[in-house]
Amino acid sequence: MDAASITGARNWDAVAERHPEVVARLEDGLARSDEVADAVIAEMHERRIGWTQLLAMVGNDPDDPDDPDDPAMPPALGALIRSASTPPAWFDPSLAEAGARAWWRFGTLQSSTLYQSLIYGYKAQGFVRPLAATGRLGEGTLERVQNTARWVAEATTPGSMRPGAPGWVATIRIRLLHALIRDHLLRDRAGSGDVWDVDAWGVPINQTYSALTISGGFLVLPLTIARDLGIRYSSAERAAITHLWRWIGWVIGVDDERLPADFAAARELFTIAAEFELEPDAVSKRLTHALLRDGYDLRDAIPLPGPVVTMMGVVIKPVLSTSFSSISTRWMEESAAGALGLRRTPLHHLVDVARPAVRLREVLRATGLLGSERAVVRRELRTVRRGLGLPDAGNDQLTAVG
**Rounded CA gap, 83 and 66, in Å?**
13
Check residue 71 and report its DSSP letter. Answer: T
Which amino acid, 83? Answer: S
Question: What's the pLDDT score for residue 127?
Answer: 87
Question: What's the pLDDT score for residue 130?
Answer: 86
Question: What's the pLDDT score for residue 96?
Answer: 97
Question: What's the pLDDT score for residue 304?
Answer: 44
Give one word for 191, left, alpha or beta, with left for phi > 0 and alpha for psi -120 to 50.
left
Mapped onto helix, strand or coil, the DSSP state of residue 161 is coil
Question: What's the pLDDT score for residue 193?
Answer: 59
**Could you give the count of Cα atoms lying within 13 Å of 272 in the half-sphere of its Cβ?**
23
Question: Torsion angle of alpha carbons 62, 64, 65, 70, nearest 10°?
Answer: 170
Other Cβ atoms within 10 Å of 21 Cβ, number: 8
**Rounded CA gap, 154 and 393, in Å?**
9
Question: What's the pLDDT score for residue 371?
Answer: 92
Rounded to 5°, angle at Cα 306 from 301 and 308: 90
Residue pair 156/390 in contact (Cβ under 8 Å)? The answer is no
What are the CA-CA distances from residue 216 to residues 63, 119, 133, 220, 249 (Å)?
33, 12, 24, 5, 11
CB environment 23-38: b (16+ within 10 A), e (fewer): bebbbbbbbbbbebbb
Rounded to 5°, angle at Cα 385 from 384 and 387: 65
**Rounded CA gap, 288 and 292, in Å?**
6
Question: What's the pLDDT score for residue 314?
Answer: 47
Residue 311: Cβ-neighbour burial (10 angstroms; 0-12, 13-18, 19+): exposed
**Rounded CA gap, 28 and 11, in Å?**
17
Mapped onto helix, strand or coil, the DSSP state of residue 173 is helix
First to last CA, the chain: 49
Which residues in the chain land under pLDDT 70? 60-71, 135-139, 188-194, 296-317, 319, 394-402
Output the pTM of the full model: 0.91
Other Cβ atoms within 10 Å of 73 Cβ, number: 16
